[in-house]
Amino acid sequence: MTIRRQLQFLGSKYGGYQFTSPKNNKIRQIYPAKFVMDTLRQQKRRQAEMRLLAGPAWSNPNSLVFTDEFGKHLNHDLVYRHLKRLFIKMGLPKLRFHDLRHSYAVLSIQAGDDIKTVQENLGHYSAAFTLDVYGHVTEQMKRSSSERMEQYIHMLDKAQ
């Protein structure tokens, strides 16, 4: 998947919603998990149904994947309200939409993704920046690594 631009709410004073460059003006390739791609395909099917229902009222000139029933972009406040309700249902603390990005980064690192891959997926300008922000995760991983090594050493010791 290629990330070329993002739809951003700049405020009514600045023209409302506009497409802007991705983070650090950096077009990037990402490789979403199969589950994510399947979910996006499901959304495209739902969107095709909405398009049929809307008929000539449908307008989605930018080929957005997530739209209202007429093909228009979603309102950021509406998305945030729904997200907050979902977090409450899941028993999660009050989070911002941007916190999902941080969760992704932490979980990716914990799952074993190398820092360079996480950096590129997030669009950070350098792996050093990503490490500065998420270094606490790698510290936990170092402790876990030490514990695994300890277990391995004991296993070798018992085998002799």
The pLDDT tens digits of the residues spanning 29-55 come to 889 999 999 999 999 999 999 999 999
Evaluate if residue 22 carries a pLDDT over 90. no
pTM more than 0.75: no
Instruction: Write out pLDDT tens, residues 58-113.
Output: 999 999 999 999 999 999 999 999 999 999 999 988 888 888 889 899 999 888 89
- Whether 127 is in a domain gets the answer yes
Rg, Å, the chain Cα set: 21
How far CA 140 is from CA of 94, 118, 128, in Å, comes to 24, 17, 18
First to last CA, the chain: 51
Task: Give the model's confidence band at 138: pLDDT under 50 very low, under 70 low, under 90 confident, else very high.
Answer: confident
- Whether 115 is in a domain gets the answer yes
Find out whether 17 and 7 touch, Cβ atoms under 8 Å. yes
- Domain range for 106 is 98-160
Find out whether 71 and 43 touch, Cβ atoms under 8 Å. no
Which residue in this structure is represented by tokens 């996480």? 118
Q: What sign does the dihedral 154-156-159-160 (CA atoms) show?
A: negative
What pLDDT, on the 0 to 100 scale, is given for residue 19? 93
What pLDDT, on the 0 to 100 scale, is given for residue 160? 80
The domain total for the chain is 1
- Whether 80 is in a domain gets the answer no
